[in-house]
């Protein structure tokens, strides 16, 4: 039995210290059943624990900023989904690409985007990754091939196919990681994109973060086949399902998927079984699930607890080192918030910049996006 220090996701930080313990595993998850054979832990797992703590604390701080009306618009937090994000994005190379949906803060953090510039973006400040013009749902960092943050469910899947086509055309072995939720799979663009990617053998990794709900709609009420990996297979795509609450299981699945894509075999569909500990957005009263369901699921499989437990067992971290790490992460996030609060608002003239991308070498103005960039 171990302690979790970061906030427990209900906006009340006083409840942050929650006793958690392994309970029953769920379908697609053997993490806590003891059946899974794990690779030995490594030193970089300690860095990953720190990153997952940062992702969790960042979201809790964003929730605080939102409740103080310092952050506007929509705010979707991904507490609980840290292993699914880090276990996939963490394995990418610098010359790979990411396109993702609106629940994107943790994805940008895992990609190495500066946390203070992400927080400033949430606050709509000039120092944000998009100069304050994108906000929470539209994080974008071309330098890191982080090609957005999209608010329209499934709107970014055709963009991923376009990027995939560019990679193929240029003869590169980069992977385009395209992240979406279970709510995306009944949209036409999901079907069109998987089909086209399969026909053209595009190097796109379709990653479905299946957290069982699309806003307040449970997947079984909208999909006759709830196994999204099986549905993806209908397009002739190689597929797998992994336990997205388990960093090691996710990494192993991601590793296979990227090897497949880099060897030129075409797209891959990975379904990571996950669960969000907070509501869909800050405006969600959560009438569709009980508090008991959330606390049981959290108790059964908090992804941070799994990593912490394994590192402790291996002697790579002890309680004091963990507490220090939590304190350092909390401090780092506090500094991000201070940076965001003290940053200036964008100048009114910013409304007229970054409207179109420039075209390198043609004199067409605007920040050029160079898709020819290698590692």
Contact 316, 46 (CB under 8 A): yes
State the Cα–Cα distance between residues 140 and 154, nearest whole angstrom.
17
Q: Which does 107 bind (CB under 5 to 8 A by kind): Mg ion, ligand TPP, none?
A: none
Instruction: Based on the shown chain and the rule CB under 6 A, indicate whether residue 184 belongs to the binding site for ligand TPP.
Output: yes
Please identify the residue of the shown chain whose CB is closest to the bound ligand TPP.
Answer: 181
* 172/262 Cα distance (integer angstroms): 9
Q: Which is nearer to ligand TPP, 110 or 325 (CB)?
A: 110
* Cα distance between residue 263 and residue 326, in whole Å: 40
Instruction: Pinpoint the alpha helices (H) of the chain.
Output: 43-67, 82-89, 105-110, 115-122, 157-169, 188-199, 228-233, 247-262, 291-300, 303-313, 319-342
> Does 55 sit near ligand TPP (CB under 6 A)?
no
Taking contact as CB under 6 A, which single stretch among the options 18-26, 107-115, 146-154, 289-297 is the one that binds ligand TPP?
146-154
Query: Does residue number 283 form part of the binding site for ligand TPP (CB under 6 A)?
Result: no
Q: Examine residue 280 and tell whether it contacts ligand TPP (CB under 6 A).
A: yes
| 133 near ligand TPP, rule: CB under 6 A | no
Task: Give the span between the Cα atoms of 29 and 35, in whole angstroms.
Answer: 10
Least spacing, CB of residue 294 vs ligand TPP, in Å: 14
Q: Which of residues 75-104 bind ligand TPP (CB under 6 A)?
A: 103
Q: How far is the CB of 318 from Mg ion (least distance, A)?
A: 36
Residues of this chain, 214-233, that bind ligand TPP according to CB under 6 A: 214-215
To the nearest whole angstrom, how small is the minimum distance from the Cβ of residue 182 to ligand TPP?
Answer: 4
For the bound state, the minimum distance from the C-beta of residue 181 to Mg ion, rounded and expressed in Å, comes to 4
Choice between 85 and 196, CB closer to Mg ion: 85
Question: Which residues in the 169-208 window bind Mg ion by CB under 5 A?
Answer: 181-182
Backbone angles phi, psi at 101, to 5 degrees: -95, -165
> 109 is in the binding site of which of Mg ion, ligand TPP, none (Cβ under 5 to 8 A by kind)?
none
Determine the Cα angle at 255 with ends 32 and 110, to 5°. Answer: 80
Burial of 223 (0-12, 13-18, 19+ CB in 10 A): middle
**Length, in residues, of the chain:** 375
Count of CB atoms situated within 10 Å of the CB of 373: 13
- The DSSP bridge pattern shows strands 97-101 and 176-181 to be parallel
List of residues contacting Mg ion (CB under 5 A)? 181-182, 211, 214
Judged by the rule CB under 6 A, the positions of this chain that interact with ligand TPP are 103, 151-153, 180-184, 211, 213-215, 280
């Amino acid at each position: 039995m171990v302690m979790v220090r970061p906030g427990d996701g209900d906006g009340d930080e006083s409840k942050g210290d929650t006793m958690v313990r392994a309970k029953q595993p769920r379908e697609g998850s053997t993490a806590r059943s003891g059946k899974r054979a794990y690779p030995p832990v490594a030193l970089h797992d300690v860095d990953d624990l720190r990153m997952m703590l940062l992702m969790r604390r960042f979201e809790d701080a964003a929730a605080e900023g939102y409740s103080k009306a310092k952050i506007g618009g929509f705010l979707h937090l991904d507490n609980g989904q840290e292993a699914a994000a880090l276990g996939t994005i963490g394995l990418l190379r610098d010359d790979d690409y990411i396109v993702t949906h609106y629940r994107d803060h943790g994805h940008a953090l895992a990609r190495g985007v500066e946390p203070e510039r992400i927080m400033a973006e949430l606050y709509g400040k000039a120092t944000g990754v998009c100069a304050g013009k994108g906000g929470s749902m539209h994080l974008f960092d071309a330098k890191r091939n982080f090609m957005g943050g999209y608010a329209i469910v499934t709107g970014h899947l055709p963009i991923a196919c376009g990027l995939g086509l560019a990679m193929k055309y240029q003869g590169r072995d980069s992977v385009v990681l395209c992240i979406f939720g279970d709510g995306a799979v009944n949209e036409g663009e999901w079907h069109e994109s998987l089909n086209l990617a399969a026909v053209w053998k595009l190097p796109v990794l379709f990653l479905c973060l299946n957290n069982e709900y699309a806003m307040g709609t449970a997947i079984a009420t909208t999909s006759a086949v709830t196994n999204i990996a099986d549905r993806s297979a209908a397009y002739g795509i190689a597929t797998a399902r992994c336990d997205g609450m388990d960093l090691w299981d996710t990494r192993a699945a991601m590793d296979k998927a990227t090897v497949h894509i880099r060897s030129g075999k075409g797209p891959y569909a990975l379904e990571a079984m996950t669960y969000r500990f907070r509501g869909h957005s800050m405006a969600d009263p959560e009438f569709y699930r009980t508090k008991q369901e959330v606390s049981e699921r959290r108790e059964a499989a908090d992804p941070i607890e799994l990593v912490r437990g394994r590192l402790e067992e291996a002697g790579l971290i002890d309680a004091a080192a963990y507490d220090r790490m939590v304190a350092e992460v909390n401090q780092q996030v506090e500094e991000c918030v201070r940076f965001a609060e003290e940053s200036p608002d964008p100048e009114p003239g910013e409304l007229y910049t970054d409207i179109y991308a420039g075209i390198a070498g043609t004199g067409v103005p605007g920040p050029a996006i160079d898709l020819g960039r290698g590692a």
